[in-house]
């Protein structure tokens, strides 16, 4: 009797161990494939070196879309097509000069027009400078002091906040809305401190928007080191002036594209798991972390599924979005098409946190879906990716949230992310190949598990 129970127990343990472990074995195979393959790294290099500065609507962005399509096509998806998106191109032009007039000295600054800004026209803009730390402080100062002045937004990203994205979320609105708010008080131009925690002379750009109701005024960003020196000069001599000139412009609507590629599901082809990254980048960089890495993470799902013979139950659909950086028109187009066709998106994932080492994943969903999602954590324990965060999707998949779709993201170690973000430092060599491979393995594994374990319901 004892022997019989022992055998029974042994069989039970084996069955349950194997049953649970089959997926772990596949995850291990996915990691082995990625960690011993150079493909992801070489494809990222190709994208960065052949099509850098690929802001939506630029010739480089069209070249990047063609290239990414070729890369994905070489992995043999079941379907591959582009989805037309009308985008609003913005060009920086050739002129970007800024000079501080401090006492008897003329000091040159490194400067970049902020994306979406109007130009200064040929004569440039010169004036006294009022320094503020964020939008709230601006409101307190009021029109009397601001009329005719250049407002200098100098709120740094708070270094004491552990997650740099949170610090960016707090300081970022001064870049996005500073010009509109300052214009409302009669200011004639805006200078913004770069959104980064590194101290150097590298300038970081990004998007800004004008409110309909205000007079549009030009805006530039300057580096953190030069922002600190400008601040010191203003303390020493409040009569310090700045001159700057820019020649940027917004151009008429033009056609661009999202790339869509699928592996059809064998059990439930009508249920779709969207896996995204964005192909556009700022026009001063190669867009390696933002978001070349995300495009490669996503495309690797098709390559590795094919190589390992993984046939998903649901349709796995890679979407390479255009225009994340400026107006998210690619994201809007995709969501609109999902809605029109009445498609069922089972879950949506986007990688847009750089090619850094993944710590885990984010999940923006109902509480019950998040509880389900947490069941995946144990599969990532051997790879040290157990930081599962509630409430973090990404920008391009956000519009799918209104259909109740659980939104998933790659959660990377972002301590160095803002050193590179939207600056000339975001080039291919700033991505560590092994960290990129881990990001690919994490992405492919997550998509495999969400599908196979019916994590958001059958
Ligand atoms: Zn991005």
Read off the pLDDT of residues 326-379 as tens digits, 9 standing for 90 and up: 999 999 999 999 999 999 999 999 999 999 999 999 999 999 999 999 999 999
Per DSSP, the three-state class of 436 is: helix
**What is the CA(381)–ligand 1 centre distance, in A?**
27
Which tokens is 195 given?
Answer: 């959104």
Q: Is pTM beyond 0.85 here?
A: yes
CB 92 within 8 A of CB 102: no
CA dihedral of residues 298, 302, 308, 311 (deg, nearest 10)? 120
Total H helices, total E strands in the chain: 13, 18
CA distances from 209 to 125, 194, 324 (A): 20, 17, 14
Which tokens is 117 given?
Answer: 């800004």
Which tokens is 34 given?
Answer: 């990625």
Read off the pLDDT of residues 28-47 as tens digits, 9 standing for 90 and up: 999 999 999 999 999 999 99
**What is the CA(131)–ligand 1 centre distance, in A?**
29
User: What is the Cα–Cα distance from 19 to 30, expressed in whole angstroms?
Assistant: 18
Nearest CA among 229, 286, 250 for reference residue 98: 229
Which tokens is 193 given?
Answer: 């401190």
**What is the CA(282)–ligand 1 centre distance, in A?**
9
Read off the pLDDT of residues 408-421 as tens digits, 9 standing for 90 and up: 999 999 999 999 99
Which tokens is 339 given?
Answer: 């809605």
% the chain with pLDDT above 70: 96
Residues within 5 Å of ion ligand 1, judged at the Cβ atom: 290-291, 352
Q: Let me know if 413 is exposed, middle or buried by CB neighbors in 10 A (0-12, 13-18, 19+).
A: middle
**What is the CA(67)–ligand 1 centre distance, in A?**
19
% the chain with pLDDT above 90: 93
What pLDDT score does 15 carry?
Answer: 47
**What is the CA(433)–ligand 1 centre distance, in A?**
19
With bands split at pLDDT 50, 70 and 90, how would you rate the model's confidence at 2? low
User: What is the Cα–Cα distance from 344 to 120, expressed in whole angstroms?
Assistant: 48
């Amino acid at each position: 009797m004892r022997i019989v129970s022992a055998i029974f127990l042994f069989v039970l343990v084996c069955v349950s161990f194997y049953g649970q472990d089959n997926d772990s074995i596949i995850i291990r195979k996915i990691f082995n494939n990625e960690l011993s393959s150079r493909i992801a790294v070489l494809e990222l290099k190709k994208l960065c070196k052949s099509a850098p500065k690929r802001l939506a609507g630029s010739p480089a962005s069209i070249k990047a879309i063609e290239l990414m399509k070729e890369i994905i096509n070489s992995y043999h998806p079941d379907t591959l097509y582009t989805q037309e998106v009308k985008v609003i191109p913005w060009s920086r032009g050739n002129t970007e000069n800024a000079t501080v007039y401090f006492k008897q000295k003329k000091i040159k600054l490194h400067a970049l027009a902020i994306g979406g800004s109007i130009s200064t026209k040929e004569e440039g803009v010169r004036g006294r400078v009022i320094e503020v730390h964020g939008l709230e402080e601006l409101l307190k100062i009021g029109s009397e002091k601001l009329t005719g002045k250049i407002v200098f937004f100098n709120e740094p990203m708070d270094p004491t906040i552990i997650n740099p994205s949170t610090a960016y979320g707090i300081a970022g609105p001064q870049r996005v809305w500073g010009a509109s708010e300052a214009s409302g008080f009669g200011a004639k131009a805006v200078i913004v401190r770069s959104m980064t925690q590194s101290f150097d002379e590298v300038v970081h750009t990004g998007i800004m928007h004008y409110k309909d109701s205000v007079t549009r005024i030009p805006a530039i960003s300057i580096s953190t080191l030069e922002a600190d020196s400008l601040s010191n000069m203003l303390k020493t001599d409040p009569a310090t002036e700045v001159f700057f000139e820019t020649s940027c412009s917004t151009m008429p609507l033009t056609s661009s594209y999202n790339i869509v590629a699928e592996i059809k599901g064998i059990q439930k082809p009508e249920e779709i798991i969207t896996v995204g990254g964005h192909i556009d980048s700022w026009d001063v960089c190669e867009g390696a972390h933002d978001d070349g890495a995300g495009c490669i993470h996503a495309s690797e799902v098709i390559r590795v599924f094919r190589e390992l013979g993984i046939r998903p139950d649901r349709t796995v659909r890679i979407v390479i979005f255009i225009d994340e950086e400026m107006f998210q028109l690619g994201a809007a187009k995709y969501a609109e098409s999902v809605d029109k066709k009445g498609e069922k998106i089972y879950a949506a994932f986007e990688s847009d946190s750089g090619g850094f080492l993944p710590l885990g994943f984010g999940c923006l969903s109902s509480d019950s879906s998040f509880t389900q999602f947490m069941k995946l954590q144990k599969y990532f324990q051997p790879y040290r990716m157990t930081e599962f965060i509630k409430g973090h999707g990404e920008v391009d998949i956000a519009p799918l949230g209104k259909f109740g779709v659980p939104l998933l993201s790659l959660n990377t170690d972002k301590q160095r992310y803002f050193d590179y973000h939207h600056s000339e430092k975001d080039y291919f060599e700033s991505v560590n190949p092994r960290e990129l491979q881990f990001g690919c393995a994490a992405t492919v594994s997550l998509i495999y598990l969400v599908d196979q374990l019916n994590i958001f319901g059958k």
